[in-house]
Structure 1
Amino acid sequence: MSILYDEGQDAIATESRRVLEARVNKDELLPLLETTGEYHHGFWTTAKEQGWTALALPETYGGLALGLVELGLIAHQAGRSLSGAPFLTSSFGAAKAIELYGTDAQKGRWLPGLASGEIIGAVAFAHGADALPLHPPVAFDGARLDGTAIGVTGGLAADIAVVFAEHGGAPVLALAELGPVERVAVPSFDNSRCIADLHFAAAPAEALVAGNLARDAALHILALQAVITAHEQTGGAEALMEIARDYAVTRKAFGQPIGAFQSIKHRIAELYGLVELARANCIHAAAREGQDDFVTAAAAARLSATDAYDSAARDCVQIHGGIGVTWEIGLHLHMRRARSLAIEQGSSLFWEDVLVDRLSGEAA
């Protein structure tokens, strides 16, 4: 694929940006920081109305049969506007797990609802900082789940979850309805992520894939989600770079715009480089879906986007000086989101290990 988007993809980006800028604003997002378990319903309603929930799913189940590139474009704009709900990524991950590894009955039951957005999905793979633990804390006996999945993004609002569990000493991906599952909210500095600990106690579940293939399947789902998250991070970094640039050419000190000082202009130039590197890695990773090097490309995109968003959040606040840390200006919304996204779908340490393992294998 070219490093440039085609006309149709540009139209998706333009329209999604127009819609989100009209419907999402910081005045609606700020109160969510002080409320555990709430998300921005306006964003999620928009996602369903616009068909974004169906974008990358098969037409057979109500999807639009587009791909990771197009969904990444939506996620990029969601990152720019600080979308106040995590379900674009979490429902996509759950849906892809069912599409790729589920039975026809499982697909028919769950994919239409996930495509319409009426069903919300979550992916419960991590245990603390470990994205894919060697011994998952949740056990599967073939029909039920027992144990606790810690820190599940979207877990408070999800209807179903794909869980990385253990069955007879081997990994398994299990699909569970969350209606009877106890959920304990995890208060965080970005409460709109609806993070929860899921306590399974003989919770009914069905296997999606078990045995030696389960860990590879889980890594593949994580990689798919990581590419979407990387697009969201890149969108946030791009927005912050533009905010910093605009402030630097209007704010004056010592009789001239602060953007004239090397310490400011060089920092913004460095942000531009980080954003464009992350953007290129995101496009490449999305285009490699289904190829042997997809996980490698996803890891590279994830790492570069995390670096770009973290750097942009920090530098934009510093360029603004004292006003940058005030509640009203809202830069801390990006700072909080940058920190939240940095640990979802695995931290940088996890993806560095994945990248090194993959590249070492190719070198050998």
Structure 2
Amino acid sequence: MSILYDEGQEAIARESRRVLEARVSKEAMLSLLESVGRYDEGFWATAKEQGWTALSLPEAYGGLDLGLVELGLIAHQAGRSLSGAPFLTAGFGVAKAIALYGSDDQKAAWLAGLASGETIGAVAFAEGANALPARPALTLAAGGLEGRVSGVAGGLAAEVALVFAQGPDGPVLAIADLAEAERSAIESFDNSRVYADLVFAGTQAERLLAGEAAREAALHILALQAVITAHEQTGGAEALMEIARDYAVTRKAFGQPIGAFQSIKHRIAELYALVELARANCIHAASREGKDDFITAAAAARISATEAYDTAARDCVQIHGGIGVTWELGLHLHTRRARSLAIEQGPLFFWEDVLVESLRGEAA
């Protein structure tokens, strides 16, 4: 597809931005920082009301049967507004795995709830900095799922988790009902992500795939989530760039706007370039879903969006000077979110390795 959106997609972007700017407030996000176990319930209620949870799922299960491009548009606006819940991305990952790899019974059991948003999903693959371990510490045998997964985004509130485990004959992709799992909340610098450690002790889990196909499917789901997260990061970076620009043309020093100084104007120009590069990579990656080069495109989007958001969070604070670090201004909300999104779906090094390996395969 073109790297420009069509008329219908532009309408989705405009309407979602209008709704989120009206309903998501900085004050609400500030209050969540000091409270463990709470998330932005207003945002999640809006996501369900607007049908965003159903956007990319099959119509047969209550979905709207749109694509990754449209869901990316919603995530972009969520990033701009600092929406305080991780469930849109994780729920999509769980639902997509079931839709692609699950049985008819599994689809009937889970997809309608995930599409409506009444069921919250989480994806529990990572072990430390390893987003997709070669040999998972989780094990799945006849006795059920055993082991521990740390730092699961949304894990404290989720009802179902998509897990990557070690089975008797190799890796397994499975879904686990979290009603049987033990959870412990993690206090973090971005508490609205409701991170949790999940402990499984004989928890019943339903297999989706096993063997090498399970590993390939897990990477595919991770890449889908990485594209959504990259859109969210790009939205945050865009918002920070605009905040920095607006401040630079109004704040004066030595009789002129600080935006007239090269050290400021060059930084804002660099942020613009980073945002537009990330935006183009995100659109391209979303449009390549189902194609042979999707993993490569997803890795490129993830890397460029992480760089854009991290850089924008740092430079926007510096452009504001001393006021940039105050609680009331709220720029630290973006700084915290930039850091949390940089590790969800795998850190930068993981996606750099994925990109190198995929390009090496193409070169060979």
TM-score range, shorter chain: over 0.9
Residue 359 of structure 1 aligns to which amino acid in structure 2?
A: L
- Secondary structure in structure 1 of the residue aligned to 2:164: strand
| Structure 1 position 109 matched with structure 2 position 105 | no
Residue 294 of structure 1 and its aligned partner are, at CA, apart by 0.3
Matches within 5 A, 1:273-284: 273-284=273-284
Alpha-carbon distance between aligned partners in 1 of 2:194 and 2:338, rounded to the nearest angstrom: 16
Alpha-carbon distance between aligned partners in 2 of 1:253 and 1:164, rounded to the nearest angstrom: 55
Question: Normalising to structure 2: TM-score of the pair?
Answer: 0.99
> Does the aligned pair in 1 maintain the 2:244–2:268 contact within 8 Å?
yes
Residue 90 of structure 1 and its aligned partner are, at CA, apart by 0.5
> Does the aligned pair in 2 maintain the 1:143–1:205 contact within 8 Å?
no
Residue 352 of structure 1 aligns to which amino acid in structure 2?
A: E
Alpha-carbon distance between aligned partners in 2 of 1:82 and 1:98, rounded to the nearest angstrom: 28
Alpha-carbon distance between aligned partners in 1 of 2:180 and 2:65, rounded to the nearest angstrom: 33
What's 2:85 paired with? Answer: 85
CA deviation vs aligned residue, 1:67-91 (integer Å, no higher than 9, x gap) = 0000000000000000000000000
Percent identical pairs in the alignment equals: 77
Long gaps (5+) in structure 1: none
Residue 223 of structure 1 aligns to which amino acid in structure 2?
A: A
Counting matched residue pairs gives 364
- Secondary structure in structure 1 of the residue aligned to 2:327: coil
> Does the aligned pair in 1 maintain the 2:247–2:320 contact within 8 Å?
yes
- Secondary structure in structure 2 of the residue aligned to 1:179: helix
What's 2:270 paired with? Answer: 270
- Secondary structure in structure 2 of the residue aligned to 1:44: helix
> Does the aligned pair in 2 maintain the 1:76–1:234 contact within 8 Å?
yes
What's 1:336 paired with? Answer: 336
Residue 168 of structure 1 and its aligned partner are, at CA, apart by 1.6
> Does the aligned pair in 2 maintain the 1:79–1:231 contact within 8 Å?
yes
Alpha-carbon distance between aligned partners in 2 of 1:36 and 1:209, rounded to the nearest angstrom: 35
What's 2:50 paired with? Answer: 50
What's 1:22 paired with? Answer: 22
What's 2:254 paired with? Answer: 254
Residue 236 of structure 1 aligns to which amino acid in structure 2?
A: G
CA deviation vs aligned residue, 1:9-55 (integer Å, no higher than 9, x gap) = 00000000000000001001001110111100000000000000000
- The farther-off stretch of 219-228 and 171-180 is 171-180
Aligned Cα root-mean-square deviation (Å): 0.6
Residue 12 of structure 1 aligns to which amino acid in structure 2?
A: I
Alpha-carbon distance between aligned partners in 1 of 2:61 and 2:13, rounded to the nearest angstrom: 24
What's 2:41 paired with? Answer: 41
> Does the aligned pair in 2 maintain the 1:29–1:40 contact within 8 Å?
yes
> Does the aligned pair in 2 maintain the 1:56–1:67 contact within 8 Å?
yes
What's 1:286 paired with? Answer: 286
Alpha-carbon distance between aligned partners in 2 of 1:18 and 1:265, rounded to the nearest angstrom: 29
Residue 142 of structure 1 and its aligned partner are, at CA, apart by 4.1
Alpha-carbon distance between aligned partners in 2 of 1:102 and 1:121, rounded to the nearest angstrom: 15
| Structure 1 position 237 matched with structure 2 position 237 | yes
What's 2:358 paired with? Answer: 358
Alpha-carbon distance between aligned partners in 1 of 2:341 and 2:24, rounded to the nearest angstrom: 19
Residue 137 of structure 2 aligns to which amino acid in structure 1?
A: P
> Does the aligned pair in 2 maintain the 1:173–1:218 contact within 8 Å?
yes
- Secondary structure in structure 2 of the residue aligned to 1:173: strand
- Secondary structure in structure 2 of the residue aligned to 1:249: helix
Residue 174 of structure 1 and its aligned partner are, at CA, apart by 1.2
Alpha-carbon distance between aligned partners in 2 of 1:137 and 1:194, rounded to the nearest angstrom: 23
Alpha-carbon distance between aligned partners in 2 of 1:183 and 1:287, rounded to the nearest angstrom: 37
Question: Normalising to structure 1: TM-score of the pair?
Answer: 0.99
What's 1:168 paired with? Answer: 168
Long gaps (5+) in structure 2: none
> Does the aligned pair in 2 maintain the 1:142–1:206 contact within 8 Å?
no
What's 1:297 paired with? Answer: 297
